Structure formats: structure tokens, C-alpha cells
Amino acid sequence: IGQNDLTALSYLHEPDVLYNLEVRFKERQVIYTYCGIVLVAINPYQDLPIYGSDIIRAYRGHSMGELEPHIFAVSEEAYAKLEREKSNISIIVSGESGAGKTVSAKYAMRYFAAVGGSESETQIERKVLASSPIMEAIGNAKTTRNDNSSRFGKFTKLLFNNEVSMMSLTGATMQTYLLEKSRVVFQAPGERNYHIFYQLCAGREKYPELMLDHQDKFKFLNQGHSPNIAKVSDAEEFNETLKALVTLGFTPGEVDNIMRVLAGILHLGNIKITDSGDNDQETSAISSNDISLSILSDILKLHKADLSHWMTTRQIESFNENVLIPISKSMAEAARDALAKHLYSKVFHFIVQTVNRNLMSGKNEDTFIGVLDIYGFETFEWNSFEQFSINYANEKLQQQFNQHVFKLEQENYLKEGIVWTMIDFYDNQPCIDLIEAKLGILDLLDEECRMPNGSDASWVSKLNEKCTKYKHYDKPRFGTSAFLIKHFSDTVQYESQGFLEKNRDTVSKELVSVIQQSDMDFCRHLI
């Protein structure tokens, strides 16, 4: 026992696999084990001295299996294949939330930057590695499972020039997926908003004009009642983020504008909306003396009266005229929060575009090594649209894994006439069908969003009517507002509240127009 490749075990079943991993981790302090072409990594929740330049040099030129299992061995395998075959190749980093995917992806990128670099290209290496702290600041957050959880998916392409004998790193580009916008306006107990907001509050003396306060004073930051991360200084992290932005070529003006919009989002969340209706009609109001409204309008150069008006009023187009309707306090708060999410999404994508622009060398890159770091499978006490999207993505990844490790491999054995007892593996296609087939979960959700009186409750009742034929769908024993999906990893109960709103992802046209009419060029450019 204690094999460095699980396929060498006499019995490849769950108890033996787990015991083998336990022996390697507890007795030998080894976190990596192979399972054929797959590297299994255990998160040690501490920094280990196994990622230095000397270790990179040790794995360079060695095939997988020659040395002890390591993320660098997998990276070397990818790099060697790139050199040999001159074709694109990708590494998929998957696992549950908190498993250590982001750190593993970072070490893989560090390896490629080191072996693909040369003395003249250290600037490219520095830029590639500097993209990590930026993306973690704007896309990672503390959850109950993980202090530095990626709340978006990221596919990084490391670009190589194949016109020379040795593959040299010439640049990089990234695509992002599924940014969790709802986190901007709400955090569950024990969780935080995106790191960048806390960093900005901790370093607020650098930006006195933004009128920032302690993090606990902002509604968008204090709902989780867990503002700090053990052994992490947000002030120091903010300095790292600013340094990385400079390395990636952001101008001082761009950095200042980004911080202005982020501060504006925090002040937006503190605008106090009151209920001003009588018994007949629910209406809402914002005081003209609201300090947060004034600061927001000032720092983003917005028209204050228009902002206040369109946060509490809705315009409906009827025949040839526009009708103005006052809205309730809850609807006004939803409009405010939708604007905050919209603004953050725009800032996030502006930063990604700028990082990509500065990572590209401008040459024709023929080949790339891709590193996919995507959300891990999630199940919390309360699971909503975000967990549903994440777990659906993981079902697709699991299917990809099944295709490569089992289906295609066994088909090759049959083609080559190898005597082989077929492994009966778990095929999750029926679960994917439940989600994406016609009259499946997503189809019914989109249909409900188009209905004038569509609601979360009526959507669930349609699911119960149409989806019970799928063995991966179930109803909870109590209540009618939730539904269950039997995923490959676990059975998850999803609460339907908010699904329609999050799927529609709408923001008031009039509020967006107020931002478009800002006297600040950057705001207009964002929108």
C-alpha cells in the first residue's frame, strides 16, 4: 500500500483508493498520487517547499512516472507534447470547492512561464504570473468552504511560438465564465464579498476623495458578519493588487477610475430607500439629503436627481406613450442591487479585457497550453441558481472525464483486439439530459421567464409535473418550493427562490442611462 499510482493497486475500489491516499498523505506527507493519466492532489492547507526553481529544473525533461507524482510532472508532460506534436493541449483542474484548484492552476502556469521563458522574455513571465493576484482580488471571495474561493471560471491560454526549436512563451489570454454577480449585493453568514472591496477599504487612505469608511459600515460588505480572513492582511493584499495592475500595464488613470467605480458600488449599497406609500399604493422614496447618494453622484459625476428618480420609479411603454409608475421599497432595492451587480460585471470584464490586451505579444501564436480552473462542485445549506449553474458545469466536466478515461480508452482496447473486461462506469448523461433536454430544467426555466405572471413557485410545480420521469430528479419530503437533483457527486436540494430573477438578469434601462450620461468618461466607456 502507498503506491504512487492508484492503477497499480491489486483492487481498484473505493476503500483501497482512500486508504492508499491516506497512507501517502498521513505517513509519508505526500499530497500527489497518479491515477493513470490523472493527478490526484490533496489540499494540505499549508504552503509546502516543493515548488521552487530547483524542483522545476528537476522535472524538466522527465516523463510522467519517472519521478514522484507532481503538478510539475503533468505540466512537463503537456509542454513536451506541445514541443513534439506542435498541437494545442489543455489541462483541466477540477474538484470540490476548497480542493485547491486555483493554487494548482497557478503552479502549472508558473512551470510553463519558467520553462518557456528566456532571459529576454522575463517581462512576459512576470505579466503572466501577475495576472493571478488581480483575478483573485476581483473574482475570489471567502466562503464557508474556502477562504479564497474562485467565484468565476477561468480558461487561461498560454501562447507559445513554435517557429523555433524550443517552444517559447510569447503571451497569454484568458476567458472567464459564470461570474457570481449576486455576491456583490448579498453574502451568506460566514462569507465575504469579493476581496477587492475589503482591500480598498483597508487601503482607503490612498484614496481620501472616495470617502470610504471601515468595511463594517457598508451594507454590501457586512451581511456575512465575517469580515476578516485568518493570517491575511487586506491592506498588504491591496498593495500586491496595485503592484500587479502596474505590471500588467494599467495606467494610473485606469487604476484610479476602477477604484472610483468600486467605491461607488459600496456607496450605492448604502443609499437608504424608505417606504412612502399609504395603504392603497406601495411607493418608495430616497431623501435628497442622503449622504451615500450625494457621495456616489459626486465621485462618479452622475446627475443626482435622475439617479434618485429612476431608482424609485419605473417607466412602462404603452401604445405611443410612456407611463411612469412609482415602485415599492422592495422593488426599488432590487433595482439598486441590479445596478450594483451590472456595474461590477462591467468593471470585471474591463479588467479582464485590459489584462488580455497587455498579455498579448501581438505576434501570430500558433499553439497554446490551456489551463482550465473552474468552480468545484458545491452543496451548501442553501443552494440557489449559482450552485445549480456550477454543478451543471461540473456534470459536463465529469462527462468529459468519463469520455477520455473510460469510453475512448476502452474503445481503443477493443479496436486493438486486447482482451479486456469492460469497466461498468457511471455515465452521467441522464443527469445532463434532465438539465438541458427539451422540457428539461433549463428549458422550463426560460419558458417561465417569458410568462407575464411567471414565478419561482409555478416553475417548480411545472418541474414536478414534467421532470419526475427522470431518475435524477426528485421532490423533497417537505415543502413545495425546492427540488432535488441527484448529481454524480451528491444529491443537492435547490431552493427555487430567486431563480427566475437571476436567470433574467435584468437591470433598469433608465438607471443604466443615468450612468451613460455621467460626466466621467470611464463610466460612459464601461456602459
SS3 153: strand
Q: Which of 365, 376, 394, 440 is catalytic?
A: 376
User: What residues contact residue 217 under an 8 Å CB cut-off, 6+ apart?
Assistant: 270
Chain center to CA of 296: 27
Cell of 270: 448604502
| CB 352 within 8 Å of CB 73 | no
Supply 471's cell numbers. Answer: 431518475
Residue 443 carries which side chain, given as an amino acid letter? Answer: D
Is 378 one of the catalytic residues?
Answer: yes
Catalytic residue among 75, 149, 156, 176: 149
Contact 179, 135 (CB under 8 A): no
Q: Which of 94, 97, 132, 312 is catalytic?
A: 97
146 is catalytic: yes
CA distances for 169 relative to 109, 124, 172, 378, 404, angstroms: 11, 7, 8, 35, 28
Active-site annotation holds for 97: yes
Rounded CA-CA distance 98/149 in Å is 7
Q: Do the beta carbons of residue 502 and residue 514 sit within 8 Å? A: no
Largest CA distance in the chain: 81
CB 241 within 8 A of CB 199: yes
Q: Which residues pair with 315 in a beta bridge?
A: 324
Please pick, among 150, 284, 308, 383, the residue that the annotation labels catalytic. Answer: 150
- Of the residues 75, 94, 140, 146, which is catalytic? 146
Beta bridge partners of residue 72, listed in sequence order = none
Find the catalytic residue in 378, 386, 448, 495: 378
Please answer whether residues 377 and 391 qualify as being in contact, where contact means their C-beta atoms are separated by less than 8 angstroms: yes
Catalytic residue among 102, 161, 312, 389: 102
- Cα–Cα distance measured from residue 97 to residue 88, given in angstroms and rounded to the nearest whole number: 28
Helix (H) or strand (E) holding 188: none
Looking at the DSSP bridge assignments, the partners of residue 368 are 159
Check 43, 98, 333, 458 and give the catalytic one.
98
C-alpha cell at 31: 499530497
Cα within 13 Å of Cα(382), Cβ side: 10
Q: Measured at the alpha carbon of residue 221, what is the angle toward residues 215 and 223, in degrees to the nearest 5?
A: 125
Catalytic residues: 97-98, 102, 146, 149-150, 376, 378
